[in-house]
Every structure is written in C-alpha cells, then in structure tokens.
Amino acid sequence: MRGATHARWIACAAAMALAATACGGGDDSDGGSGSGDAGAVLSSSWGDPQNPLEPANTNEVQGGKVLDMIFRGLKRYDPKTGEAKDMLAEDIETTDSQNFTITVKDGWTFQNGEKVTAKSFVDAWNYGASLKNNQKNAYFFEYIEGYDKTHPDDGSKQTADTLSGLKVVDENTFTVKLTQKFSTFPDTLGYNAFAPLPQSFFTDHDAWLAKPVGNGPYAVDSYTKGSQLSVRKWDDYPGEDKAQNGGVDLKVYTDNNTAYTDLMAGNLDLVDDVPAAQLKNVEADLGDRYINTPAGIIQTLSFPFYDENWNKEGSDKVREGLSRAIDRDQITDTIFQKTRTPATDWTSPVLGEEGGYKEGLCGDACEYDADAAKKLIQEGGGLPGGQVKITYNADTGSHKQWVDAVCNSINNALDNDKACVGNPVGTFADYRNQITQRKMSGPFRAGWQMDYPLIQNFLQPLYYTNASSNDGKWSNAEFDKLVDQANAESDTTKAVETFQKAEEVVRDNMAAIPLWYQNGSAGYSARLSDVALNPFSVPVYDQIKVG
C-alpha cells in the first residue's frame, strides 16, 4: 500500500518559486497605523490539540499552530506567498537529486540555550520515523533510505532505530540519502514534522511535553492542557521574523460561538474561526476587522469506486450530471455567506496561476444546468438505485446544512424530491471508520487541506492509485503516469503543466466533484493591527501588533 504512494512529496519547486514572484508585489503591510506595544500580550481562541504536541505527531491545525510559533525549521513557507524560503538552512546541495548535503546556519539555539546543530535535525527525524514512537507523521520520512527498517509497513518488529540515509558530517552539516530521485525534497522541509529537537526532548520526554522547548520566536511560558497555552516573545531569537508583540495566550474554547461572544465583549482579541451562525452579522459587528481570505482548502464529493454501481459504464456521466445539478453559487452565498468560493478546478487559488491553479479547468461540468444534468444522468443509466445518499459526519462544522442544500439543489434540478438525501454519521471517528472499511455506498464529503502549497499536494495524495488519502479508491493508469512524469520533471513550469494534464484526467472522469474553495476567516479586536492569515488559514501571530 505504502509503496504505491511513492513520490507523494516529489513536486515542482517552480510552483513555489514562481508563486513567489507572482505575489511578491503585494508585500506592503496595510493597516500599520500604530507602531504597537512590543511587550503587550494578545489572547486568541484555540482548540484542544488531538495529539501530544510533538512535531512529528501533530497533524491537525490546532497543534500545528503552536508548533509554528515555537519552532523554526530548515525552510519556512512565506506567510504571504507560500514560497519555501531558507530559514535555518544555510545551504541544501545536491548533484543527483537523491543525495543531499544540508548545512545548518550557525548561531541558532534552542530556548534552553542548547545549540541547534545537524544532530538536532537527524535525531528528530530518526525519532519521527521510528515505529515504536507512534508518530502520526512518520510517513513524511518514508523517502529517506532505511525507513522500511525503522518503520516496517506490515507492522512487524523494526530492525533499526535510526535511518541509514541520515548521516551527521560535522556540527553543522548532515547528509540525506533518499531511496529515489526527488528534486524538490528541500521544499517539503518547511513542514512541522521536520523541525529540529533539543536533547531534552529525548532525555526527559514527559517534561518536554508538559512544556515544549523550541527554537522559534515564541517560547512556551505555561501550558495547562485542555485550557490554555501561553507563549511569550523569546528575546534571544536570532531570526529576522521576531515577534512584534509580547506573546499570545491561546485559550481553549469548546464552542466557537462562545469565543465570538468573548470577542464581542472585549474579553478576547482574536478569533480565527468565525462561527457559521455569526457570518450574517460579522461585517456589521467588526467591519474591516473581519478577515475572509482564501486558504489552501478545497471541499469535494468523493465516490466509492469500489462499489460496482459507481464504477460501471456511464458512471462518469452520472457523476458529471450530479456536478451540474449543484448550484454552487447559490449555496456559497446563502449557506456560507461567501466564505466559500465555487470551485472551478481541483486545486486552490492560493497556489496562484503559476503554481498550478487554473480557473475554469472544470469547465461546463462545474456549471449549474438543470437540463444538462437531467440528460447526463439519464444517458449514464440513471442514479444507482434511483437515489444518492451523501454521507457526512454531523459532529463538526456545518456539514448538515450544506449537504441538505446540495441535495435540495439536486432534487430541484432533477424534478425528483427523492433523488438525493443526506446520510449523517454521528462522529468523525465513525465516519473515518466507515471510509476505511469501504462501507460508502454513494458520494461522501471530502475535504483537503494542503500540507504545503504545491499543486502536487492537491492531486497525488487524493487521486493516485492507492494513495494515502484516496478514500474513493479511484484508479487511473493515465493519471498515475502523468503524475510520475511530472514528479520526474526537473523543469518546474513543465512539471506544473504535466500536473494540470493529470488534473484534466480527473475532470474527464469526474473522479470527485469539486464543490468550493474554503476561506480562512478571522475577527479581531480594535487593539490589534497587522492581522493576517497565512495560506494555511492560520493567523501570522508573530507579525500582529498590539495597542
């Protein structure tokens, strides 16, 4: 299974390099009215992280948010453009795209005074890859030689604790040997899983988890699990992106409505998730202190291709018909108050045109047309069993609302009030369960939040045969071939073009119905200025000015 996901990382470096030049013009800071009090602390809403706060074990936004404040890795994705820029990396050299020599900048230390060296990275990566540590991001290390020994796929006993492909050369240099050519490996190094770790992480793990020590602009001041994490500006931070405020108090809210109420009452400075129920009033409440910007998130409807009903002659027409029966404009306007943008391709606008986003790539297939929808579904042999059930988890988000709206739209278009119904599943865990056990009988909700801003990340993990997030188990030889080609391509413009060709295969088969791009939303108090969301929809905390 894992083998088939090969080259998930392999991507086009140009996507990022070009995105940078494309967006580089807009780097002036707006709203920089007050200089701000550099010592003032702001408070922000937070969700309880699902996993312990360890770089290689954090795979959701809430934990990632903290890691992004307290850690800096070899690379860092520019908060505005998404470009992967050198951070701790002095130099990453390769002659064959398979063996890399990485030099770490001098003068960086952890917040406990320990120096950040090549060993800090090698130890951290070895820890992340080792099966016995149960790190949920372990697969990020799978292209490094020796991964199969430290993390055997079949779950059998691991035969090595360290990756044979990692070697410390001297204090500031280490080498990485991959199992295959991978020219854009450096661009993936901005991901949290690749952060360096101090020795105290290994020697006193529990103490470290209770109060993580990193090397970023903020240091953890106190952490009360489940209720609050306070970070304070780290004065000795050697990087250029020093914190512009004194620190951040992240307060756990069970309900984002309460967080919003607290913001209104002046108890909270920043809410990074405006609740759906408040979207109608948010502009009246906050005016220009409401942010609504695109993020690297797309929502789609996937199909169970393991179910014969959805994988037979004419099924693609049924899928396309369903896509045409969905009035995306109306739903994004009424249900989401324009915090979603109707999707016209399978990537995200944050990639930029050079990065692979192509407006309108979906063409007619994503345009609402009741007559065409009816005709297509008829030609395709009608809906399997006369009815589609859209499965979703009902515990979070406003999934019920939009699924009902989508069904409504389909029913209206097909003049059949039984054509589509929602099929709620109680919890997200149960929902994931049913997906992994291949129990889906019709379309189901799928969302994808990018790991890094590359077109590859929107296609390969989702549609490549047996890829890690290919929940519908779609498989297409031509798509796989094009992705392989794109990954091997050293010229980045060509790589993007090849990825787009692959995306066209997705379109022609309607492997998944693109619904809308999700925006990041935030609201903040009058005390703050220079608030912005990065392409991952996380506030750029270190640049916020208070006062």
Partner 1 sequence: MGRYVARRLLQMIPVFVGATLLIFLMVNVMGDPIAGLCGDRECDPATAAQLRREFGLDKPVGQQYLTYMGNVFTGDFGTAFNGQEVTELMASAFPVTIRLTIVAILFEIVIGITLGVVTGLRRGRPVDTGALVITLVVISVPTFVTGLLLQLLLGVEWGWISPSVSSDATFDELIVPGLVLASVSLAYVTRLTRTSIAENTRADYVRTAVAKGLPRHRVIRKHLLRNSLIPVVTFIGTDIGALMGGAIVTERIFNIHGVGYQLYQGILRQNTQTVVGFVTVLVLVFLIANLLVDLLYAVLDPRIRYA
Give contact residues for partner 1 (rule: CB under 8 A).
1-2, 48-52, 59-60, 131-132, 134-136, 138-139, 151-155, 209, 224-228, 251-255, 258-259, 261-262, 264-267, 395-396, 426-436, 446-449, 461, 468-469, 471
8 Å CB contact between 478 and 505: yes
Which phi-psi region, left, alpha or beta, contains residue 538 (left: φ > 0; alpha: ψ -120 to 50)?
beta
- The least CB distance from residue 158 to partner 1, in Å, is 9
**How far apart, in whole angstroms, are the C-alpha atoms of residue 462 and residue 473?**
9
Tell me, rounded to whole angstroms, the distance of Cα 323 from its chain centroid: 24
Select 197 or 376, whichever has its Cβ closest to partner 1: 197
Would you say 49 or 217 has its CB closer to partner 1?
Answer: 49
Closest CA to 419 of 374, 379, 376: 374
What's the closest the beta carbon of residue 289 comes to partner 1, in angstroms?
16
What is the DSSP code string of 213-273? --SSSEEEEEEETTTEEEEEE-TT--SSS--SSSEEEEEE-S-HHHHHHHHHTTS-SEESS
Given the complex with partner 1, which of 435 and 533 has the nearer CB atom?
435
Cβ of residue 367: shortest distance to partner 1, in angstroms? 27
Amino acid at site 208: W
Residue closer to partner 1 (CB basis): 108 or 208: 208
User: Minimum distance from CB of 110 to partner 1 (Å)?
Assistant: 21
CB of 45 to partner 1, least distance (A): 10
Shorter beta-carbon distance to partner 1: residue 267 or 490: 267
- State the minimum distance, in angstroms, from the CB of residue 59 to partner 1: 5
Q: What residues are paired with 176 via a beta bridge?
A: 100, 166
CA 129 distance to own-chain centroid:
21
In angstroms, give the least distance from the CB of 464 to partner 1: 13
Q: Are 163 and 92 in contact (CB under 8 A)?
A: no
Looking at beta carbons only, is 237 or 444 nearer to partner 1? 444
Q: Six-digit token pair at 134? A: 């149960």
User: Could you tell me the smallest distance in angstroms from the CB atom of residue 48 to partner 1?
Assistant: 7
Query: In terms of CB distance, is 225 or 418 closer to partner 1?
Result: 225
Q: Please, which residue, 281 or 490, has the CB nearer to partner 1?
A: 281
The CB-of-264 to partner 1 minimum distance in angstroms stands at: 5
Closest by alpha carbon to 10, among 505, 492, 507, 536?
A: 492
For residue 435, what are its two tokens? 């997906």
Q: Closest distance between partner 1 and the C-beta of residue 107, in Å?
A: 33
Supply the minimum distance, in Å, between the C-beta of residue 340 and partner 1.
Answer: 17
Tell me the chain's radius of gyration from C-alpha atoms. 24
CA dist., res. 308 & res. 517, Å (int):
30
- Of the two residues 26 and 155, which places its CB atom closer to partner 1 in the complex? 155
Helix axes 492-509, 455-463, angle to 10 degrees: 40
Give residue 143's identity as a one-letter amino acid code. Answer: Y
**C-alpha–C-alpha distance, residues 382 and 372, integer Å:** 13
The first and second tokens of residue 13, run together, are 């470096």
Report angle CA 315, 319, 320 to the nearest 5 degrees: 115
On whether the CB atoms of residues 141 and 130 are closer than 8 A, the answer is no
Comparison of 101 and 469: residue with beta carbon closer to partner 1: 469
Least Å distance, CB 85 to partner 1, is 26
Residue 43 CB, nearest distance to partner 1 (Å)?
11
Which stretches of 291-327 are DSSP H helices? 315-324
CB 495 within 8 A of CB 14: yes
Provide the b/e sequence for 101-131 (b: ≥16 CB within 10 Å): ebbbbeebbbbeeebbbbbbbbbbbbbbbbb
Which residues have CB under 8 Å from 235's CB, separation 6+? none
Considering beta carbons, is residue 45 or 323 the nearer one to partner 1?
A: 45
* Nearer to partner 1 among residue 97 and residue 261 (C-beta): 261
**Which residue lies nearer to partner 1 by CB, 102 or 301?**
301
CA distance 311 to 318: 11
Residue closest to 341 by CA, chosen among 79, 533, 538, 520? 520
Closest C-alpha to 528, from 28, 27, 44, 26: 44
> Which of these, 470, 465, 479, lies nearest to 509 by C-alpha position?
479
Q: What is the chain's length?
A: 547
